Structure 1
Amino acid sequence: MGAAMAGRLRAAGLDVVLWNRSPARAAGVAADIDARAVDTAREAAAAGPVVLVSLADDAACRAAYEGPDGVAAGAGPGTVVADTSTVAPQTAIDLAALVRARAGGSMLDTPVSGSVPVVERGELTIMAGGEAADLDRARPVLDVLARQIFHVGDHGAGATMKLAVNALVHSLNQAVAEALVLAERSGVDRAAAYEVFAGSVAGGPFVQYKRAAFERPEDTPVAFRLDLVAKDLDLILDLAARAGAPMPQAVTNRRAVADAVAAGLGDEDMSAIARFLRGSS
């Protein structure tokens, strides 16, 4: 996602400075899109005025922000850090405070809904938490990436909304996988079954978007790994426990994903839940 965002921004004519925890990866992306790679997160953040962060989980975010060479040390006054990672709301709140305290910058939690192709078309949905004035300052960059931006509240609200959205997405993924395997085991051709799904009242954007992944998984690139689905569901269930929100379906989905990951499918696309179910009795 980070590489796709950088490419989209360069294609729009914006200057881009890159940092990655794997330096060779940053250098490769920089060469591909005619950008500049730097050695530390602090250098990248100091190149602002808008800093985009896209990392896998809470631990990776905290490590990238903290320390003398972290994002927080480089984001000075006038800089807005827009973090698109999917993390716990408290992590977003903590990192916003750290950015402000370390060098006087500002931060928004701006997680996104959409995949790499959606980034490349500039059609992400962004859920923003933080100060409205900071969001206004970040919009010239975010608008290049997004079709719509929702300001949903203070720090942590964007992260909360992303977990709510992903709870729905992961439930849809499980439901599509189960329904497809039911049709197949009952003698209906996979492609024919999916054609009906896509044309039915259930054929919303998710069903359309994941069609190739479910119909032809062997020919379709991984868009969202199952191990990251597991990470999301852990965050979702932790938030639900804190909020006192019952989520029995999310509990069931987490158990199903854990079984698929344990079976060696963690690096596969989320649609591999269907493959796991095909092998189950």
Structure 2
Amino acid sequence: MAEVALLGTGRMGAAMALRLAAAGDHVRVWNRTTASARALVDSSDGHLVLAETAADAVTGADAVLTVLADGEVTRAVLLSDAVQRVLTPGTLVVDLGTSGTDAATALGRHLGDAGHRFVDAPVSGSVPAVAAGTLLVMASGAPEDVEAARAVLGAFAGEVLRVGDVGAGQAMKLAVNLVVHDLNAALAEALDLAERSGVPRPEAYDVLERSVVAAPFVKYKRAAFLDPETPTAMSLALVAKDLGLITAQGRSTGAALPLTEQALARVRDAVDAGWGPRDMADLSRFHAAADEPSDPQTESGE
């Protein structure tokens, strides 16, 4: 049984914590919003332990997993004086968020200098994949550190693929998310085109889901594209964050990403119009409403 600290109890972090506990690990959870972590602990039938601070969570941990909103937050938490004072030398730190290559490189350098092991390990998949234990992890770091992480991540990951040294995991995650977010934007346009041409949205989606473009994303986002009341899985605000990281990576490496730059501009338009909290699939509704401004909060019933 491993002592695991999990920092970040959003939808993905919460699902991971429950899988870790079910696998027999002793799991302490922390979140910047304490109420979120407390609700998770209260629902876990005593299988999870609430930590009031990040430092409390990581004290004595064999492995520290972070599932935080972005690289800036992840760096601020892990490199804080309070956390650094209590981390045991040699602690395995695994970042599962989409933090960006700069954050991963900085974390690897600072944690390594402090005598800790770091694995940059963003994921591909959603909460159902975590619950089913089929999540894909794109891990980067020293081979022996990735192997150590594999033993912990096996509680919820179907595959842990080492893709290189620290930073390569984030680069690969950005490449994967480029396809996801560009596909999301393409679906939004396709549905708008079909509806304006007289094909009802459900029928249009039936065709898309059975066509050559029917990637897993198209299948598992069906409910969100067809029902505006579907709970948000990934917000448009987070999509804008990801696309910002992707396009910045393109510029820093010299990769031309014209389609993705256009997708970012469209998503930012939606966020600026107040659609930031809405699910990424609601980009299709933003397309439809673009010529007829409306209150997105009223439209969704939120």
Query: Could you tell me the TM-score, scaled by structure 1's length?
Result: 0.95
- Can you list the C-alpha shifts for 1:172-217, whole angstroms capped at 9, x where unaligned? 0001111011111111111111111111111121110111111112
Which residue in the other structure is 1:241 paired with? 251
Equivalence map 1:224-239=2 (5 Å): 224-239=234-249
SS in structure 1 at match of 2:255: coil
Alpha-carbon separation, structure 2, partners of 1:74 and 1:151:
29
Which residue in the other structure is 2:300 paired with? none
Stretches of structure 1 lacking an aligned partner (at least 5 in a row): none
Structure 1 residue 122, shift from structure 2 partner? 1.4
Equivalence map 1:82-161=2 (5 Å): 82-102=94-114, 104-161=115-172
Q: Decide which of 28, 48, 51 is 2:61's aligned counterpart.
A: 48
**Is 1:107–1:130's contact at 8 Å kept on the other side of the alignment?**
yes
| Shift in alpha-carbon separation, 1:54–1:73, aligned structure 2, 3 A | farther
Alpha-carbon separation, structure 2, partners of 1:134 and 1:31:
33
Q: Decide which of 172, 195, 198 is 1:184's aligned counterpart.
A: 195
Q: Decide which of 155, 159, 176 is 1:165's aligned counterpart.
A: 176
**Is 2:96–2:123's contact at 8 Å kept on the other side of the alignment?**
yes
% identity of equivalent residues: 46
Alpha-carbon separation, structure 1, partners of 2:75 and 2:207:
45
SS in structure 1 at match of 2:161: strand
- Could you tell me which amino acid in structure 2 is paired with residue 280 of structure 1? A
Which residue in the other structure is 1:265 paired with? 275
In angstroms, what is the RMSD of aligned CA positions? 1.3
Q: Decide which of 31, 37, 40 is 2:50's aligned counterpart.
A: 37
SS in structure 2 at match of 1:245: coil
Deviates more, 1:46-55 or 1:248-257: 46-55
Q: Decide which of 69, 77, 92 is 1:80's aligned counterpart.
A: 92
Structure 1 residue 85, shift from structure 2 partner? 1.1
Query: Could you tell me the TM-score, scaled by structure 2's length?
Result: 0.89
Alpha-carbon separation, structure 1, partners of 2:59 and 2:119:
16
Stretches of structure 2 lacking an aligned partner (at least 5 in a row): 1-11, 292-302
- Could you tell me which amino acid in structure 2 is paired with residue 65 of structure 1? L
SS in structure 2 at match of 1:239: helix
- Could you tell me which amino acid in structure 2 is paired with residue 262 of structure 1? D
**Is 1:233–1:254's contact at 8 Å kept on the other side of the alignment?**
yes
Which residue in the other structure is 2:30 paired with? 19
Write out the 4+ residue segments of structure 1 that deviate beyond 6 Å after TM superposition.
none
Alpha-carbon separation, structure 2, partners of 1:22 and 1:47:
23
Alpha-carbon separation, structure 2, partners of 1:197 and 1:74:
52
- Could you tell me which amino acid in structure 2 is paired with residue 96 of structure 1? G
SS in structure 2 at match of 1:217: coil
Equivalence map 1:209-224=2 (5 Å): 209-218=220-229, 220-224=230-234
Alpha-carbon separation, structure 2, partners of 1:113 and 1:211:
18
Structure 1 residue 43, shift from structure 2 partner? 2.6
Deviates more, 1:238-247 or 1:115-124: 115-124
**Is 1:42–1:74's contact at 8 Å kept on the other side of the alignment?**
yes
- Can you list the C-alpha shifts for 1:69-101, whole angstroms capped at 9, x where unaligned? 22x443323321110110121211111222223
Deviates more, 1:165-174 or 1:111-120: 111-120
**Is 2:29–2:57's contact at 8 Å kept on the other side of the alignment?**
yes
**Is 2:232–2:279's contact at 8 Å kept on the other side of the alignment?**
yes
